[in-house]
A and B are shown apart, each in its own frame.
Chain A
Amino acid sequence: SQKIEQNSEALNIQEGKTATLTCNYTNYSPAYLQWYRQDPGRGPVFLLLIRENEKEKRKERLKVTFDTTLKQSLFHITASQPADSATYLCALGEGADSWGKFQFGAGTQVVVTP
């Protein structure tokens, strides 16, 4: 069966350091992958999209890589700040001509301490 795995343990990191999150998948052929941020009591907020033919995407202090051979995406937050504390979800969409069929991972909580 299709599975998306994100580290269930919270990532505790000191302000200013780089946080790196992983998203691994099995039995999946994603055409694209997205990362969302979710704060307690709120809906997820879209951050970044990367397609299967792209290796890396950047947006401000965020960087995403996508390795379809390793079946893995890495999400980096550089120069982390306490305001970056949240749960980060990866989501995969299968098939460039499909109607989405998104599947989310369970998310990884990031805690940035001053």
Chain B
Amino acid sequence: EAGVAQSPRYKIIEKRQSVAFWCNPISGHATLYWYQQILGQGPKLLIQFQNNGVVDDSQLPKDRFSAERLKGVDSTLKIQPAKLEDSAVYLCASSFNRGPPYEQYFGPGTRLTVT
């Protein structure tokens, strides 16, 4: 079974630029998550989708971050404009369970450096 795919793996941008990350979850997984992991910290949930609907985006900085999941499969996370404090690893995860608890399968992440 193929795992969660993410691209790009690395991205370096200047502050105030925009960036987009892509995620392809495991086939058949209805739930998709985006996390931000700052060095030395645990992953912080940004947004959770159930199929193509948003379930939880309470911690998403909506003034600069946006995410969509078209057709309930692939997802993109965008940052516009980026700030220095956005430097982190952005992890995508998916789960098969349609209700809790959610055993999550994570992708390798995208390491973003904002200069």
Judge whether B104 and A46 touch: CB under 8 Å.
Answer: yes
Cα distance A95–B48 when bound, in Å?
Answer: 16
Judge whether B40 and A106 touch: CB under 8 Å.
Answer: yes
CB distance from B71 to the nearest CB of A (A): 20
Interface footprint category on A: 20 to 34
Interface residues of A (CB under 8 A from B): 4, 31-32, 34, 41-46, 49, 51, 89, 91, 93, 95-107
Could you pull out 23 A-B pairs where Cβ atoms are within 8 angstroms?
A31-B101, A32-B100, A34-B101, A43-B4, A43-B109, A44-B91, A44-B106, A46-B103, A46-B105, A91-B42, A93-B102, A95-B100, A97-B100, A99-B55, A100-B31, A100-B48, A100-B56, A100-B100, A101-B45, A101-B56, A103-B45, A106-B41, A107-B42
